[in-house]
Structure formats: structure tokens, C-alpha cells
Amino acid sequence: MSGANSGGGGSCEGRVVIVTGAARGIGRAHALALAAAGAKVVVNDLGVQLDGSEQRSEAAQEVVEEIRNGGGTAVADGNNVATWDGAEAMIRCAVEQLGGLDALVNNAGIVRDRMFVSTSEQEWDAVVAVHLKGHFATARHACAYWRQQSKAGAPVDGRIVNTSSGAGLLGSVGQASYSAAKAAIAGLTLVQAAELGRYGVTANAIAPAARTRMTEGPFAAMMKAPDAGFDVFDPANVAPLVVWLCSAASKHVTGRVFEVQGGELRLNDGWRPAATIDKGARWRVDELTAVVDKLCAQAPTPLKPYGAR
């Protein structure tokens, strides 16, 4: 089975994991690596095109067959992460068909790349629905299941692994809707971590850089696979971190955002004060030019969004 070389061993043996958007790219690599590490995997995917159109129902089943042919356990799920009922049905699929739920990997996404001034309401809503609501709805129903288990006295060792992006951490020109949704996902992760620990659930996020349908178009030259040597942008490079985050070994880590690209793993920190001036009284408008200039001079130079000149 592809993914068996991720070093997962039996780290997820017997754990039930849902991976959304798992038919291709990074999600497929997650599903294969988790199965190779012993997890029973719900392979969720609508089988749609990059912009969310033209559904192909057999896409998830193809990954399921690949897992089963390698000796693993998996079921396909075609529910829509962006709908409340679809997300609930997905959790029910894991519980009823695989016996429970231990981890949720939110990976599904679409793009409608457009400069901000040209973005339509429909394009904005579509991207935010799949990314942000898709993360909320699935996790909300998963947590309802875990909370019920916890209140019944059953041991819970739950995991939420969300997918943010460098675009969400820095911004990306031409991707306002995508960047906004991915930034919100990072914020959502922090709240989930703070609230869900009492039920035995951790929440972390990854911001992966890999070759997918979303990156092959705008970054074709960068994403091209090398003729030889280490393939930095192989989606399978992201999977070991996700396997670890879904395993029992990661129980002590929550509320973190990791960037991963090739062999580089980076822990990111969120917004925090970079410079402070306290007058001890209300500011006057005519004072603020000098004060803000001083704050900007004291603070580190901001990193530019992707694509900015």
C-alpha cells in the first residue's frame, strides 16, 4: 500500500479516522498513510472538480479499494461537508460501519481564485462553505459524539486535525476567499483546543505545501516533480505528521498550527503584540500619526502575502 513507508507502524492501530476530501492529493495521501498505520478509514469525497462542479461518485471508492488491496480497512462516504445533515451522516457512517470515531481530519476544499475586486458573492460563499463551514459542521457532530461518550463514562482520546494554509497565515494575492477561510480555520482550531480538552479531545491544524490540484496550476514550475532526488512537494510528505496527530502519542499537543513542506516542519504562533505605547489616557486624533509611525518602527517588518510585490 502506498503510504506504508511513512513510518507510522501501528501507531493508529484500531483507531477510526475520517479524512474529508480524501480521493486525491493530500487527502488521499493522509488516508493511505493512516491505513498503513493501522487505522480504519472513512474516505470522504464528493469527487468534484477543483471548483466544486462535476461530481464523480466513484472517486472515494477507488481509494477505499487501494486501502483494502493493501490489507487495510476503509469505507467510502459521499456526504457533503458543507451541509449540516451531510456532516452528521458522515460521523454516523464512521460509528455505524467502523465501530466508533477517534479522529477527524478536515481536508476537503475548493478554490475560486479571483482578485478581490472581481470576486462574486457566489464564489465567496462557495469557498467559505466548503472550507470553513465544512470544518465546523464535521467537527461539531464529531464533538457531539465524543461528549456523549465522555458523559457516559467511556474513555475518549479524540483528535481534530484541521487544514489551514500558508495563504491563511500570510494571505495570498488572488485568493481572498480562500485566505480568509483558511485564517478562520486557524482561529477555530485555537477555540476548539481550549474548549474540548475537558472531553479528551485535542485540536491542531496543519498548513501544508504540496503538489495538488490547487497548486499545480498557479505554481506549475515550482510544483513540478524532479527527475531524481527528494520530491519536496510530494503530498505524501505531509501525511506522517497527520498520522502522528491522529495517534495516541500526540495526546499532549493541542492548539498548535504546523506548517509542513517536504522535510521541513515549522510550528507557527498566532497574532501577538509586536509593539506597545500606553499613554494612560485617551489618544487625540492629531497625536496618532507620530504614535503609529513609532509603533511600526518598533515592530518587526510584516511578511508579505504570497504574490505581493
Residue of 1, 2, 38 whose CA lies nearest to 17: 38
Residues 6+ apart with CB under 8 A from 257: 164, 169, 186, 189, 204, 205, 206, 207, 267, 268, 270
- Return the active site residues: 165, 178, 182
Residue of 168, 109, 113 whose CA lies nearest to 138: 109
Per-residue cell: 65: 479499494
Q: What is the DSSP letter of 302?
A: P
Q: What is the DSSP letter of 307?
A: T
Per-residue cell: 24: 486525491
**CA atoms of 240 and 201, how far apart (whole Å):** 20
> Rounded to a whole number, what is the largest CA-CA distance in the chain?
71
Per-residue cell: 200: 479528551
Q: Residue count of the chain, please give it.
A: 309
